[in-house]
Chain A
Amino acid sequence: GNSVTQMEGPVTLSEEAFLTINCTYTATGYPSLFWYVQYPGEGLQLLLKATKADDKGSNKGFEATYRKETTSFHLEKGSVQVSDSAVYFCALTHQAGTALIFGKGTTLSVSS
């Protein structure tokens, strides 16, 4: 079946450090891939998405590239801020109107 695997957290970084959160997936065909972010006490928010191979999603300095050959969608940011502290979820879906399948989430903690 379809699944998403994320690196285990927590990830603890200093401000301005480089961030990578690994995500790999198992799916037939060509799913759409997403990163969602959850700030403390809030629901999940879409951070970025990519719908086909080699697409790069980007938002708020975060980037992720859809790699079909390695079935990966790693999240990166060149310089993290304290305000980026949150839980990050990788997810996939095959078509509109169907449910997202989420990874277990990776907690990021950034200190000043």
Chain B
Amino acid sequence: DAGVIQSPRHEVTEMGQEVTLRCKPISGHNSLFWYRQTMMRGLELLIYFNNNVPIDDSGMPEDRFSAKMPNASFSTLKIQPSEPRDSAVYFCASSPQDSGANVLTFGAGSRLTVL
């Protein structure tokens, strides 16, 4: 299995531009999570999906952030317009919903720098 695949691995953009981060979960995993990691705030949950349905988006910072999961094998996190304070590493993770102890498998992350 290739694991959780995220793209791009690195993105540098200018303030005001739209950013789209992509995630392909492990096949058969029906829960998908987006986290953001910064030095100041650590690892924060942004949103998670079960069976492609958003369950909890209370961690999404503001309306500039949106996430979709159109099918079981693909999710996007979009920031429009981007701001310098959005600079962070964004992780996608997936798990089987019936995994008992809810073990998450993380992707390698997308490092976003907004200038």
Q: Are A101 and B100 in contact (CB under 8 A)?
A: no
Most-contacted residue by chain A among B97, B98, B103, B108 (CB, 10 A): B103
Beta-carbon contacts under 8 Å, B6-61 to A:
30-31, 33, 35, 42-43, 45, 48, 50, 55-56
Residues of A within 8 A of B4 (CB): 43
Is A96 a contact of B43 with CB atoms below 8 Å?
Answer: no
How many angstroms between the C-alpha atoms of A42 and B89 in the bound complex? 10
Are A44 and B102 interface neighbours, CB within 8 A? no
- The contact size tier of chain A is 20 to 34
Residue of B nearest to A102 (CB): B43
Q: Which residues of the other chain, B, contact A45 by a CB distance below 8 angstroms?
A: 106
B residues neighboring A (CB under 8 Å): 4, 30-31, 33, 35, 42-43, 45, 48, 50, 55-56, 91, 93, 95-109
Counting from the closest, the 7 A-B pairs by CB-CB distance are A43-B106, A104-B42, A97-B97, A102-B43, A44-B106, A96-B102, A32-B101
